[in-house]
Amino acid sequence: MMTVLDGVVMELQDCALPLLREVIATDKEEVAFKDLDIAILVGSMPRREGMERKDLLKANVKIFKSQGTALDKYAKKTVKVVVVGNPANTNCLIASKSAPSIPKENFSCLTRLDHNRAKSQIALRLGVSANDVKNVIIWGNHSSTQYPDVNHAKVNLQGKEVGVYEAIKDDSWLKGDFITTVQQRGAAVIKARKLSSAMSAAKAICDHARDIWFGTPEGEFVSMGVISDGNSYGVHEDLLYSFPVVIKDKTWKFVEGLPINDFSREKMDLTAKELIEEKETAVEFLSSA
């Protein structure tokens, strides 16, 4: 793949990006991972037709074990690691477990694409800009069991901040089609363009990384897959689960004290159950990888 990578380097150079100093194309871990401040792990084994989820996990455990080990060996201990390659939550957990000298809190996985999808669906429904919608939440796994939650979301309508449920006035849409549209958006994109999300995924990675670096705006929170230890929402410890977080000084914190209704509780538990199963399968493979 090195020649393909050379083509990517040419494209990056041809963008004439003002902040780009240098690009190093390599297939050697000791070069790629050396002294990193941030690692964005986008490569994973994609699911092929007829492939069991278990086979997918097995192939990815191998990849993320080796990347975690390389991070542990070569990167700065302050490195921030963002996992994008799917199944992102469990891949991220495996990378973290394979890098014991790097704090667990430094590992996160991308659910910002789902977050942005939820935001834009609300904006489209109300005929406002996506910028006018804030504090949507993606709970759980970056899979079709994720729970897009707008119980705490706000929208700016003619300069006034209103709750999303109040603004939309259609609870059955919010509890039905809205949720399934966001959950299955990735599959819808693949069906339409015969390729998975590219530009929207890249934009979400930039949003995620920028927020880690520069923090979240006052009064706003974002969704991010992070280690569940110490959460107050009844989610099992030692899972890589998407939560609402605020970020300051490159450190994230759970958004605390959000009331959770029965509808939300059920959806949050369902996606946690899937993550527990994935984790158990992956950890089995990890010991033999």
Which residues are annotated as catalytic? Answer: 142
CA distance 216 to 135: 11
Residue that the structure tokens 């759980």 belong to: 140
Instruction: Establish whether 141 is an annotated binding residue.
Output: no
Ligand-binding annotation for 84, yes or no, is yes
86 labelled as ligand-binding? yes
Q: Is 125 labeled as ligand-binding? A: no
Instruction: Return all residues near 193 (Cβ < 8 A) that are at least 6 apart.
Output: none
Distance in angstroms (rounded) separating the CA atoms of residues 94 and 60? 9
> Residue 21 is encoded by which pair of tokens?
């100093």
Please say whether the beta carbons of 136 and 126 come within 8 A: no
What does the alpha-carbon distance between residue 215 and residue 257 come to, in Å, rounded to a whole number? 20
Was 230 annotated as part of a binding site?
no
- Contact by Cβ (8 Å): 134, 249: no
Residues annotated as binding site?
47, 53, 60, 84-86, 117
Residues annotated as binding site for NAD(+)?
60, 84-86
Residues annotated as binding site for substrate?
47, 53, 86, 117
